[in-house]
Amino acid sequence: MQPFDQVTIVGVGLLGGSVALAMRERSLAKQIVGVGRDTAKLQALVDRGMLDRATIHLSGGVKDSDLVVVCTPVDTVTPSVLEAIDSAPDNCLFTDVGSTKAEIVERITSEGGDGACRFVPAHPLAGNHRGGAEFAKADLFVGRTVVLTPDESTDPEATERVGDLWKSLGAHIVALKPDEHDAALAMTSHLPHVVASALAAATPDGILELAATGWRDTTRVAAGDAGLWRQIFLANRSQVLTALNKFDQHLDAIRDAIEAEDGPELERLLAEGKRIRDALGN
């Protein structure tokens, strides 16, 4: 695709840093600007060559950009996009990497004025429980899914251009409505985190030496940042609670079969979980 003249990454952590590295490697931006909160850390990323320049002022960082990628924690996506719309040129495109979408889209559509139609909401399924720009890599999005959630107010050309960008970074695109995205991700991402966290918390420290690969795998995501996940769960509150209720029904069924010593029913339930897990592969 045609390179952007200036791309601004707002929030240069694992995802923002990886967008910068990936665009750099593919020559998709003539100039990459980073916006963050910590001058020293930003300077280190400039020194490393990830960014061409950096600033702690969002408005200054976006004023000559033709693409702004907002990679902040979920709670600050909306204010960051709104501020970027205010300060960026009239033809600038906006996208984000937020793990929830409905709340963000609703607020930006209603408060973003004329620029809102150039915001193409995105969610790359490429997170990691280890955050931070130090884990960023140019191939983070290769082979991953990026969900786009434009609505009827989104400029179709903007959607196409932002979709092309994510595809250029190696991802494949799935388009969903914001609500559909949030319901699906509540099940495939947020619920696993709730469950992993409760499982880890329920385990007494003293028996950790008896934890084998099963416990390790099942609890791995519980190592994610508590502050970030708090934001995600609250931003997608009703869908997460719905997913939890659905999980509870399946858990209760297994519990009932164990309690009743109903071997055939227990095996049937376990086989159903196995069938769905096997459908995904390792």
Among 126, 162, 169, 171, binds a second copy (CB under 8 A): 126
- Record the tokens describing residue 145, joined without a space: 């899914």
Cβ proximity to a second copy, 53 vs 268, nearer residue: 268
Cβ proximity to a second copy, 46 vs 125, nearer residue: 125
Q: Binding string, 161-200, against a second copy, x = CB under 8 A?
A: -------------x---------xx-xxx-xxxxxxxxxx
Cα dihedral 39, 45, 51, 54, rounded to 10, equals 0
Question: Backbone phi, then psi, for 126, in 5-degree steps?
Answer: -145, 25
Cβ proximity to a second copy, 16 vs 61, nearer residue: 16
Segments in the chain forming alpha helices (H): 14-25, 39-47, 58-62, 77-87, 102-111, 156-168, 178-185, 191-202, 213-219, 226-235, 237-259, 263-280
Number of residues that bind a second copy (CB under 8 A): 85
CB of 66 to a second copy, least distance (A): 29
Among 25, 38, 111, 267, binds a second copy (CB under 8 A): 267
Cβ proximity to a second copy, 84 vs 136, nearer residue: 136
CB-CB contact of 26 with 140 (8 Å) = no
Residues 213-252 that bind a second copy (CB under 8 A): 213-227, 229-230, 233-234, 237, 240-241, 243-244, 246-247, 249-251
Cβ proximity to a second copy, 43 vs 218, nearer residue: 218
Distance of CA 219 to the CA centre of its chain: 19
Q: Interior CA angle at 159 toward 158 and 161, to 5°?
A: 65
**Residue whose entry in the numeric block shows the structure tokens 């996506």:** 77
CB of 89 to a second copy, least distance (A): 34
Q: Binding string, 143-162, against a second copy, x = CB under 8 A?
A: -xx-x---------------
Among 46, 128, 131, 135, binds a second copy (CB under 8 A): 128
Cβ proximity to a second copy, 4 vs 229, nearer residue: 229
**Which of helix, strand or coil describes residue 125?**
coil
For residue 192, count CB atoms less than 10 angstroms from its CB and return exposed for 0-12, middle for 13-18, buried for 19 or more: middle
CB of 204 to a second copy, least distance (A): 7
Q: Counting contacts by CB under 8 A, is residue 135 touching a second copy? A: no
- Record the tokens describing residue 208, joined without a space: 């950790």
Give the integer Cα–Cα distance in Å for 121 and 177: 10
CB-CB contact of 159 with 150 (8 Å) = yes
Cβ proximity to a second copy, 44 vs 174, nearer residue: 174
Among 106, 125, 135, 168, binds a second copy (CB under 8 A): 125
CB of 186 to a second copy, least distance (A): 10
